[in-house]
Structure 1
Amino acid sequence: MSLILKESAAFRSQTVNPWTGFYFLQSMLINFALGYEFSVLYAIVLSCALIVLWRHAPRAQKVFIGIISLVAGCYFPFGQAYGAPNFNTLLALLSTNMEESTEILTIFPWYHYVIGLFIFSLGVISMRRRIPAASTPWIKWDTVGTVFCVASYFIGPVQNHFLGYDFRIIDTGVPVLRFVRDVAFNYHEVVVEQKNMAQLSSMKDTWTISAFKPKYHIYVVVIGESARRDALGAFGGYWNNTPFASQANGTFFMDYVSASGSTQKSLGLTLNRVVDDKPQYQDNFVTLANRAGFQTWWFSNQGQIGEYDTAIASIAKRADEVQFLKDGDFEANKNTRDEELLKLTAQVFSTPRTQPQMIVMHLMGSHPQACDRTGGKYNEFVQSKETSCYLYSITQTDDLLGKLYSQLVNTGESFSMVYFSDHGLAIKERGKEAQYLAHADKFQQNFQVPFMVISSDDTKHRIIKARRSANDFLSFFSQWTGITAEEIKNPYRFFSEQKAGPVYITNFKLQKVDYNQLGTDLFDTHNKL
């Protein structure tokens, strides 16, 4: 009886201890900061673990709290914008240069950093708790807490088993452990992907071309960046911010869907031949053009970290002539404008060439932070300064396309140019002064992008409403350039209203998702908060 009374007293001393509430608050914030769906259960699990550790291994508990508080505090802004770690976030981390890293850090609202600092401060307070001189005996409530934590660990694997998936011990739902697993697993996947990319990029292409009948002498591919289709007036957007495209004669696809929600993954799936959902980096649209007999040029305002460090760099390096305005190192010029690329195209057009030409221009476009793209300038205030800059960055791209079109007309040669964006963006901190746009994969607007083709013989502004997928880009490229290759199937006429079947996108977890099942993230067209 005395033992039971002692254990009950010990249990009451823990439950009424203010540190219990403190650990629960800390656990809720840490779990929330890591980007997973909030769960009271898992907050209780972490609280129990911290209490048991404090009672029997206080020094280990302090180290544990210090680590998880630092990680959670630093990750909080990223978690709010991009969610939990996944393949895309790890790929972006390894493919991002110093300039882009700085821009990402400046786009988050200031109060997200304050909350992150607060989470870390709670960890510091916990680490300063004085360790008792006397050792604490093990009581049955310690056993109950330990069993509860262990049992909760298996909730995720058991749920997966009943949902028809494999029962795997590592598939726990406990956020702190899940975070470690997701980082390690996705890092491994990214490393494997990059090794595969490097290997394939150095291989000779396997294209088998049976015919080449180009209609035009010059072909230009302009790859935009982060442009949502509903942000362009020419594609039904609310704002009249595309004066060139809105009046240009050409073909405008009003329902074109990107392959994924980030540059590297989306363009990797768009510009390469894909077999079993794996890009074949040696077989891309540049090597196809080379094989057909084009002289190929690649001009980019995006950073180049290394020859084969990114999917895009690996494709670019296959062109006959390549020039990056940014090298991707610490000295990269943050303020290099897309318009600088027109100097390079002007040099190409200044010399008459008998060989068919294909020029690729890869823009920075509307990449966050948009105000860095526009120098803080905008035409109309919409919701926030960053949103306003984003809409003006669309105008800048439209102006570039207009100047490029004039250059092409002045060559006196027949030509055709295509413009499309790699992916869209999602609205974050909606309705607040800090509203901004960032990469995401949950909404249709993350994949709704502009796609238009303007040629020297176009006589009217043509609209195609049939849905088209970036997964079929090589089919488009084949029909557009007149290149027939055994490896490319053309199941439908791209330049038509012919239906093309269901469209799937690849999310940040590398899962194929039916585009129709995604939610919506519409623009708020009001000008004031």
Structure 2
Amino acid sequence: MIKKENLFSHSVCICLSILLIYLLGFEQKLDRIFLTYFSLIFLGRFTFFRIFFAIWFVIAALYLPVGFYYGPPNVAVVSAITETDIDEMTEFCSQLPSYFYFVPLILILFFIILFKKFSFPKINNRYLIIFVLGLCCYKPIKTIIRHHPNTFSSITYSFLKNIKYPILEFSLAFYESTNIYLTEKQQQLKQIEQTNSIPIVSVNPKHKTYIIIIGESVRKDYMSAYGFKYDNTPFARNHASVIWDGLITPAPNTQSSIPHLISQSIFSEDKKVNAQLNNNIVSIANDAGFETYWLSNQGKLGAIEITVPRIAAYAKHSFYTKKGEYNGKSSRGKHDTLLLPELDNILSTEDSKPKLIVMHLIGSHSNFCKRLEFKVQFDLNNKNISCYVSSIKETDDLIAQTINILKKHNQDYSVVYFADHGLAHADQYNDLRHNPNYQDSYRVPFIFFDSDKSSQQKINKQISGFQLVYLLSNWIGVKLDVKHDYMQNELSEIPEQQNIKVKDWDNNKLYQFNKLKNDPNPFN
């Protein structure tokens, strides 16, 4: 039992525990609070640990502005530390609320005085000690039993990784993120040393500027251009030169799908597939003499943003709205329209070379309502779906603005828009999520806009997203030394494909698309 005279000191320790977790950017969870609290009451009375805790609380106070925007240590934090220059640091500081300048200083002073003067409660109850040790070890041991790590180092790592003690979590997260950052930087540097190896037969672009707009998480049956009853794609529906109904993406998630959509796919006995990343549309355009650009509203580096930035590294010029995770607190307010001023700058520069510009959108990524720059434009009596339909409208508006910028600069252009993957319904049609088991997770829009086309063509043919890089190469006027249906002179001449296969995000194995389940749109 806690004595009345110690009640205040115990309350202080609980408050310190909650504060530490907040300052380091973690979520408030009972196991984190309890473990921090028990560490303070068991160890705080010893001089060594008093100094240890004081140092960590000072670090936490200094980390407050970063933790508030970025959360606990991740690749965004590491990349910001290693890559941010003076101008970017000044910009970051200028955006901070004024209290972020003096609150950390007040906290540091408070912590120094507290850990110097405060009398921590003394606890010697052996049963309480056993309880705390059990609390610490329960989840790590459970994880080890479930996943069966078979080496001492893997067992140790798994044990430490699952202890929800914020100081340990912070240290491990920073160590892991630093490793990811350094590894990915090295991989990107090695990757761009490997150039395109597909022989180019001829280069004859029909247009001066080509733009590839890669949308995010859009299934075509939620677009009015493909018959959806809510008119959320009026620009595409009325102004597209080609609306292709039938593109099947290679995979149901971004990092597995995009590499195969814009890079060459290497098949192994029709059972497995791997992406040959150096043979991508950007490296092909480089070899063909194009000026290449990559504009992205998704993360440059992150725990899962790995493969796509390796392809983007081939571009001669790149622009990212955010350096780290695509979805951290730092991404708040960073909508796809931030890419448009950069596009305007690119097109305002005179260049005799043809241009290939890739625009990678955050589009309709999950947490649909957070993706919206403006108010919800459609009411489907379902908040998530209403936001999803509205997010597609905002992408349609962005395409319209892209075309307007091209026209403003009197560009001879061709623009293609497709999404990386679709989604499937969840929670009794109250939400849409990644799911490899449904065909609609792979059915996406495929739409062209050309400056020299006055009439609209509709093509209803099912084709695979694998080797789409051949079609895109032919579209920009680059003939490759390959034999494939996508090398036809006209899009309409490409035959429909049979027995299309797809992969999921767990491995490179191929599965028959037509054997997957259907997921009809109940709002249509």
> TM class by shorter-chain length?
0.5 to 0.7
Residue 9 of structure 2 corresponds to which residue in structure 1? none
Q: Give 1:472's match in structure 2, choosing from 455, 467, 470.
A: 467
Q: Is 1:437 aligned to residue 423 of structure 2?
A: no
Q: In the alignment, residue 415 of structure 2 is paired with which amino acid?
A: M
Residue 321 of structure 1 corresponds to which residue in structure 2? 317
Residue 522 of structure 2 corresponds to which residue in structure 1? 524
Runs of 4+ in 1 over 3 A off after TM superposition: 94-98, 175-181, 193-202, 306-309, 487-494
- Does the aligned pair in 1 maintain the 2:244–2:447 contact within 8 Å? yes
Q: Superposed, which structure 2 residues align to 1:374-413 within 5 Å?
A: 374=372, 377-413=375-411
- Once the two structures are overlaid, the 10-residue window that deviates more, 314-323 or 470-479, is 470-479
- Does the aligned pair in 2 maintain the 1:416–1:455 contact within 8 Å? yes
Residue 104 of structure 1 corresponds to which residue in structure 2? none
Residues 311 and 442 of structure 1: is their aligned pair in 2 closer, same or farther, counting only changes over 3 Å? same
- Does the aligned pair in 1 maintain the 2:284–2:473 contact within 8 Å? no
Q: In the alignment, residue 299 of structure 1 is paired with which amino acid?
A: L
Q: Tell me the SS of whatever aligns to 1:332.
A: helix
Q: Give 1:456's match in structure 2, choosing from 433, 451, 456.
A: 451
Determine the C-alpha separation between the residues in 1 that align with 2:282 and 2:241: 24
Q: Superposed, which structure 2 residues align to 1:301-312 within 5 Å?
A: 301-305=297-301, 310-312=306-308
Q: Give 1:245's match in structure 2, choosing from 210, 222, 236.
A: 236
For each residue in 1:164-200, what CA deviation from the matched residue of structure 2 results, as whole angstroms up to 9, or x when unmatched? xxxxxxxxxxx9977668xx9xx9xxx9x98988754
Determine the C-alpha separation between the residues in 1 that align with 2:487 and 2:216: 27
Residues 232 and 180 of structure 1: is their aligned pair in 2 closer, same or farther, counting only changes over 3 Å? farther
Q: Tell me the SS of whatever aligns to 2:414.
A: strand
Residue 210 of structure 1 corresponds to which residue in structure 2? 201
Determine the C-alpha separation between the residues in 2 that align with 1:294 and 1:492: 19
- Does the aligned pair in 1 maintain the 2:439–2:517 contact within 8 Å? yes
- Does the aligned pair in 2 maintain the 1:222–1:417 contact within 8 Å? yes
- Does the aligned pair in 2 maintain the 1:261–1:447 contact within 8 Å? yes
For each residue in 1:223-281, what CA deviation from the matched residue of structure 2 results, as whole angstroms up to 9, or x when unmatched? 00001101110012232111101111410111111110000000111111122311111
Q: In the alignment, residue 219 of structure 1 is paired with which amino acid?
A: Y
Work out the number of aligned pairs and report it: 352
Determine the C-alpha separation between the residues in 1 that align with 2:461 and 2:518: 19
What is the root-mean-square deviation of aligned Cα atoms in Å?
Answer: 3.3
- Does the aligned pair in 1 maintain the 2:242–2:449 contact within 8 Å? yes
Q: Give 1:504's match in structure 2, choosing from 477, 490, 501.
A: 501
Give the drift of 1:207. 3.2
Q: Normalized against structure 1, the TM-score is what?
A: 0.61
Residues 461 and 177 of structure 1: is their aligned pair in 2 closer, same or farther, counting only changes over 3 Å? farther
Q: Is 1:279 aligned to residue 280 of structure 2?
A: no
Give the drift of 1:410. 2.1
Determine the C-alpha separation between the residues in 2 that align with 1:249 and 1:393: 19
Residue 228 of structure 1 corresponds to which residue in structure 2? 219
Q: Give 1:256's match in structure 2, choosing from 247, 252, 256.
A: 247
Give the drift of 1:379. 2.1
- Does the aligned pair in 2 maintain the 1:306–1:313 contact within 8 Å? no
Identity %: 27
Residues 423 and 320 of structure 1: is their aligned pair in 2 closer, same or farther, counting only changes over 3 Å? same
Give the drift of 1:517. 0.8
Residue 118 of structure 1 corresponds to which residue in structure 2? none
Residue 513 of structure 2 corresponds to which residue in structure 1? 515
Give the drift of 1:222. 0.3
Q: Give 2:422's match in structure 1, choosing from 424, 428, 447.
A: 424
Q: Unpaired segments of 5 or more residues in structure 2?
A: 1-72, 78-129, 135-142, 159-179, 268-272
Residues 423 and 319 of structure 1: is their aligned pair in 2 closer, same or farther, counting only changes over 3 Å? same
Give the drift of 1:407. 1.2
Determine the C-alpha separation between the residues in 2 that align with 1:513 and 1:299: 32
Determine the C-alpha separation between the residues in 1 that align with 2:520 and 2:75: 28
For each residue in 1:121-179, what CA deviation from the matched residue of structure 2 results, as whole angstroms up to 9, or x when unmatched? xxxxxx98xx9xxxxxxxxxxxxxxxxxxxxxxxxxxxxxxxxxxxxxxxxxxx99776
Determine the C-alpha separation between the residues in 1 that align with 2:305 and 2:420: 18
- Does the aligned pair in 1 maintain the 2:201–2:480 contact within 8 Å? yes
Residues 248 and 198 of structure 1: is their aligned pair in 2 closer, same or farther, counting only changes over 3 Å? same
Determine the C-alpha separation between the residues in 2 that align with 1:269 and 1:341: 24
Residue 300 of structure 1 corresponds to which residue in structure 2? 296
Give the drift of 1:388. 0.6
- Does the aligned pair in 1 maintain the 2:76–2:302 contact within 8 Å? no
Determine the C-alpha separation between the residues in 2 that align with 1:436 and 1:383: 12
- Does the aligned pair in 2 maintain the 1:492–1:500 contact within 8 Å? no
For each residue in 1:487-507, what CA deviation from the matched residue of structure 2 results, as whole angstroms up to 9, or x when unmatched? 563466361162233211112
Q: Tell me the SS of whatever aligns to 1:296.
A: strand
- Does the aligned pair in 1 maintain the 2:248–2:443 contact within 8 Å? yes
